[in-house]
Amino acid sequence: MSETIDAPNGLRQVLDLLDRDEQPPMGRLMDVRLIEASEGRAVFEGLPGEQHYNPMGGVHGGYAAGLLDSACGIAVHTMLQPGQGYTTIELKVSYIRGMTAGTGPVRAEGRVINMGRRVAFSEAEIRDGEGRLIATASSTLLVFAA
């Protein structure tokens, strides 16, 4: 049997990470973690803090962008076949409200809009603990043979 046939699909890879409670270095740096995944869907939680502040005294927009990019990307990852990879080629973020250390935990949910053979489209949103919308994103991702 070939390595590709024996390889797990994207959803199995993500679920294995969840089972091992394994977080990538970027997630640890940002204090965000993947908490749920299903086919075409990924949910992250984060805790923005002063270590994420910009010079204006609020959480840097890159924190939201990173969280949204992760949610969009992992949602697509759950739909990959063995031997496929992906990369973000476009991310559009809309900031609705700012975050501070007082915002508390935030939740980003990503979902696949369309999964093509070469291009995938996904979207995500971040909400605070009260359910208020903080930011949204739409993403275009290139799907390729890994």
47-99 tens-digit pLDDT: 999 999 999 999 999 999 999 999 999 999 999 999 999 999 999 999 999 99
Distance CA 34, CA 73 (A): 12
3-class secondary structure, 17: helix
- Please, what's the largest Cα pairwise distance for the chain? 57
Beta-bridge partners for 59: 53
What pLDDT score does 6 carry?
Answer: 72
How many percent of the chain have pLDDT more than 90? 92
What pLDDT score does 1 carry?
Answer: 38
Distance CA 32, CA 48 (A): 9
CB 1 within 8 A of CB 75: no
What confidence tier does 9 reach under pLDDT thresholds 50, 70, 90?
Answer: very high
What pLDDT score does 5 carry?
Answer: 58
What pLDDT score does 7 carry?
Answer: 82
What pLDDT score does 23 carry?
Answer: 86
Adjacency order of strands within the sheet including 106-115: 32-38, 41-46, 106-115, 119-128, 133-145, 84-95
What confidence tier does 115 reach under pLDDT thresholds 50, 70, 90?
Answer: very high
Task: Please give the backbone phi and psi of residue 118, each rounded to the nearest 5 degrees, phi first.
Answer: -120, -20
What confidence tier does 22 reach under pLDDT thresholds 50, 70, 90?
Answer: confident
Picking from 141, 143, 144, 78, the residue whose alpha carbon sits closest to that of residue 109 is 78
